[in-house]
Amino acid sequence: MFYYFAYGSCMNLASLSDTLGVDVKTHVLGLSYLNDYKLKFNYPSIDFDYHYCNIAQAPNRRVEGTLFLLPDSALEPLREREEYWEGRYDEIQIQVTCDGKTYHDVLTYQAKAVADEEIFPGERYLGLLEQGLFDAQVSEQYHTEVMRHINRLHQEYKQTQVSAGPT
């Protein structure tokens, strides 16, 4: 068994369960907090002109996510989902807080191939992320903060599409 901190679309229980071949609902420890990090949309898609979630160190900031205690059999499918073997994400060990308890040596993923700028993640990913925020039962404040950030990125994305004109 290993501890895993999920953020972004990996908080979506149905999506993560499909990927791992495990009903992850039975492995949820609860809403957890990763201090001194922030959520960024700077992980470029290979196939689309979008960026997905990533975490970046940021003093006095916090990422809310889900802490899981997963079976070892879930590690390889998780690595495949995060494109670990392709060198797109690093496995890192972090410390999170869940229900007032600190957990050390928690696995999460941090993108290696990052862009300088953040870009809207696209409608499909946005849907996965929104369900994940709901499934993780993040705070209303965090939910609002994430959605405002995405909406700003969406507006910027639409403006660049309009200024680029038809192709």
Catalytic machinery residues: 82
Cα–Cα distance, 134 to 132 (Å, whole number) = 5
Write out the two tokens for 98: 């869940």
Q: What are phi and psi of 151, to 5 degrees?
A: -60, -40
Topology annotation, domain 2-164: Hypothetical upf0131 protein ytfp (3.10.490)
The pLDDT profile of the chain, 167 residues, written as one tens digit per residue, is 999 999 999 999 999 999 999 999 999 999 999 999 999 999 887 776 778 899 999 999 999 999 999 999 999 999 998 888 877 889 999 999 999 999 999 999 999 888 888 888 888 888 999 999 999 999 999 999 999 999 999 888 777 766 655 55
| The model's pTM | 0.90
Domain boundaries, the chain: 2-164
Point out the annotated binding site for substrate. 4-9, 125
Residues belonging to the binding site are 4-9, 125
